[in-house]
Amino acid sequence: MSVVTRFAPSPTGYLHIGGARTALFNWLYARHHGGTFLLRIEDTDRARSTQAAVDAIIDGLSWLGLTWDGDAVSQFERRERHAEVAHAMLAEGKAYRCYCSPAELETMREEQKAAGLPMRYDGRWRDRDASEAPAGVAPVIRLKAPREGETVLQDKVQGEVRVQNSQLDDMVLLRADGTPTYMLSVVVDDQDMGVTQVIRGDDHLTNTFRQLQIYQAMGWTPPDFAHIPLIHGPDGAKLSKRHGALGAEAYRDLGYLPEALRNYLLRLGWGHGDDEIISTEDAIAWFNLEGIGRSPSRMDYAKLDNLNGHYIRLADDDRLVGLISPRLVTALGRDLGDAERDVLRRAMPGLKQRAKTLVELAAGAQFYVTARPLPLDEKATQLLSADARAQLAVIAGRLKNAPDWTAATLEGIVRAYAEEAGLKLGKVAQPLRAALSGSTVSPPIFEVAEVLGRDETLARIGDVAGGV
């Protein structure tokens, strides 16, 4: 049988980072088995579902590279099919109409609470004749759930889990207005879409026992289930806004690469020996459910930063220029010219060695495309004393006559001057760094000068040395 997995988010907000990991695991499992990965938007909650949230989910999945097969399915658009299944169970005596009013249900819950009993529907309409129905009350349709025995789940992550059927009440399948409930819709959709493996968060574990009863009532074979532990914050508490970014789009805005976030989320609860850096190709080849742990995973932002830095160093230079250009345009308040993009392209091998995010990469690159005279930060200003500026004027005169404009040649010229002046190279190189970058931190300064070119380098020195 061909493997079919699905990711089924509710469109009530952004693509949660936990949802992104669930989507990744489903995507990897399907790709590993040469199967199908489906996307279903569970938009039955019309009051909370929005098109903006649907767009955000699709945008987040697309950015992460988790492409689904076929068109995204709207659960709401299949509501008539869901109702059809409920009426089929009703006709077969596996469901029944319940005429309890909201007031009755509230009284029932209050009495159970006062008696210290679990609050659940007591089945009072389970075996009553419809002729006893009160006038003017639109009924709901409830599942006639088994009361004896137990429901057993053989979970691919949690192992065998059992629940006594006496703990599960007769859940609503169709509301009084005829709309299907989430529990029914999920089962019908998974059945009709041929889903063979449901991989989802373990917060759905209790739902699974109720859903298995629907499969049983319809005589359908349920898919295999794998309930994965949730992601916690660094402090071990459930991941929340106070821990920082929650949505996939927030990680994009913070400057993370999709391949880095995929790698990080993969290792957040799944392991393959001691491997930490796992390419997408290896992830597809290696992924299995046996590697998923049973304990919640904790976000480690330092580890994510380091992993992202690794992928930045591996990334194509042209791609990185394209990724940081919008950030530079925003910072500069103007578009970048072709010559500036070429400078960034040539500078990228040096820039990307120390950046952990695209935000850092863009900040580190900005001095290359900042118009003269270059603004100097406080430390650079302090470094450029009168003596330092005089030294730079002499150095500029020598650099002007460099036989070729390469980092090695430029370093040789500056090193020779430092030796003549009885100075350590750093005493000369640091003021040069301040003049060319406006800061005391940059890629190797002779590489910077080579990238800037002869004219720009001499002009920047001239701006701080009073002319060359």
Could you list the active site residues? 241
Say if CB 53 and CB 14 are below 8 A apart: yes
DSSP state of 180: B
Give the three-state DSSP class for 228: strand
Please state, in angstroms and rounded to a whole number, the distance separating the CA atoms of residues 406 and 445. 12
Please state, in angstroms and rounded to a whole number, the distance separating the CA atoms of residues 292 and 306. 23
**Which pair of tokens denotes residue 280?**
């997408």
Q: Can you name the residues that pair with 224 across neighbouring β-strands?
A: 197
Q: What are the DSSP calls for 358-372, one per residue? A: HHHHHHHHGGGGPPS
Please state, in angstroms and rounded to a whole number, the distance separating the CA atoms of residues 5 and 225. 11
Pairing assessment for the beta strands 159-164 and 36-41 based on DSSP bridges: unpaired
- In terms of Cβ atoms closer than 10 Å to its own Cβ (0-12, 13-18, 19+), residue 329 is middle
**Which pair of tokens denotes residue 226?**
């794998």
Please state, in angstroms and rounded to a whole number, the distance separating the CA atoms of residues 320 and 336. 15
**Which pair of tokens denotes residue 193?**
């879409």
DSSP state of 116: T
Is residue 238 part of an annotated ligand binding site? Answer: no
**Which pair of tokens denotes residue 335?**
């578009």
Nearest to 31 by CA among 264, 199, 260: 199
Long-range contacts of 70-75 (CB under 8 A, 24+ apart): 70/36, 70/38, 72/39, 72/40, 72/41, 73/38, 73/39, 73/40, 73/41, 73/189, 73/193, 74/40, 74/41, 74/43, 75/8, 75/40, 75/41, 75/42, 75/43, 75/44, 75/185, 75/189
Helix, strand, coil share of the chain (percent; to 5): 55, 10, 35
Please state, in angstroms and rounded to a whole number, the distance separating the CA atoms of residues 345 and 352. 11
**Which pair of tokens denotes residue 164?**
């006594």
- In terms of Cβ atoms closer than 10 Å to its own Cβ (0-12, 13-18, 19+), residue 86 is buried
Which segments are annotated as binding site for ATP?
241
Which segments are annotated as binding site?
241
